[in-house]
Amino acid sequence: MAEIHQLILTHGIDEARRQAASAHERAVVEAAYQVLAEETESIGFTYSGFALTSLPHKEQQEMVWRREGHNLTLVLQSGTDRLGKTIGLPYGSYARFILLFLQSEAVKTGSREIELGRSMQVWLGRMGLSIGGNSYRIVKEQAKRISVCRLTFFGMNGDQEVLRNGGFVEGAITMTGISTSPDQPSLWQDKVRLDEAFYKALREHPVPVSEGALKAIGPRSMSIDVYIWLAYRLHALKRDTDVSWSALYSQFGAGFKRLRAFRAQFLESLQLSLAAYPEARVTVSETGVTLHPSRPAIAKL
């Protein structure tokens, strides 16, 4: 994908747009251009477990979600309301962006108590996610699902199983009403506290990501996951590393019944992620992808 960045730098954005032959190619061009045009680099953070596993992309009928990553398994369970009715699992891009905000703030402030108020609304807006109308309903629903679900990360330390069990937050992430002006009340309650076990894992294993890259990717959940995976893996590599299609399918392929359908979608998500991560070096083959040692996604590292 280095070609698209070089095309923009050499011949300009107008020529790159002219050469884009599909909606997907146009999205890739725009993502690359946004990242290249960023004047300041803003850093965000996520837990490394989300570089190896992920939330659902779409709403699930089942109330337990299980994903396998390299030496790590995520089991996510739906919470219930006061009547014992299951609420459902968090899913999609809005759930991911809410969690990215909470994790980034926790690492930056060194505290598991996160100030919300207008700051979360402003941050989501900066990421290109407006909150109003149908999107207000989606954000409110995802915040509720995040608040009550339970999650367990299973890993291995030698021949011993290690697990981290808990939730995302203590209490609930609640919305107080739509705010469209600085003079109006904030959209969110004042504070929320991250679950202690989740915060500890995040502090011990944070993955730095570029907020500019996340904004360029936008509300495309698989591309977000692939970008976070690349940000975690590439800069730590000492040599080229092959990842098979079956391994990629196991990590990213939930919801796809056939490998062929997953492969086509993964390649599009990979292209968009690479457009948002100009330093990434990845090659694709019939057997999978090869990850090459690359500069970090955040130059400050």
Average pLDDT over residues 9-14: 94
Taking each helix axis as running N to C, give the angle between helix 259-275 and helix 245-252, from 0 to 180 degrees, rounded to the nearest 10. Answer: 80
Q: What is the DSSP annotation of 226-282?
A: HHHHHHHHGGG-SS-EEEEHHHHHHHH-TT-SSHHHHHHHHHHHHHHHHHT-TT-EE
Residues 6+ apart with CB under 8 A from 2: 278, 281
User: pLDDT at position 191, please?
Assistant: 83
d(CA 261, CA 249): 10
Higher pLDDT among residues 2 and 298, named by residue:
298
List, in sequence order, every residue forming a beta bridge with 47; answer none if it has no partner.
Answer: 206
140: confidence class by pLDDT, cuts 50, 70, 90: confident
CB 237 within 8 A of CB 294: yes
At 162, is the pLDDT very low, low, confident or very high (cuts 50, 70, 90)?
low
**Are residues 114 and 147 in contact, defined by beta-carbon separation less than 8 angstroms?**
no
Decide if pLDDT at 48 tops 50: yes
What Å distances lie between residue 183 and 126, 179, 186, CA to CA?
19, 9, 9
71-100: pLDDT as tens digits: 788 999 999 988 999 999 999 999 999 999
CA distance 231 to 210: 9
Residue 185: band (very low, low, confident or very high) from pLDDT cuts 50, 70, 90: very low
Report pLDDT for 213: 96
Model pLDDT, residue 174: 79
Residue 188's Cα: distance from chain center in Å?
A: 21
Residue 125: DSSP 8-state: H
Contact 223, 272 (CB under 8 A): yes
CA 39 – CA 62 distance, rounded (Å): 44
Average confidence (pLDDT) over 210-238: 96
3-class SS at 75?
Answer: strand
C-alpha torsion sign, points 150, 156, 162, 164: negative
pTM: 0.90
Q: Which among 82-91, 125-134, 184-193 has the top mean pLDDT?
A: 82-91
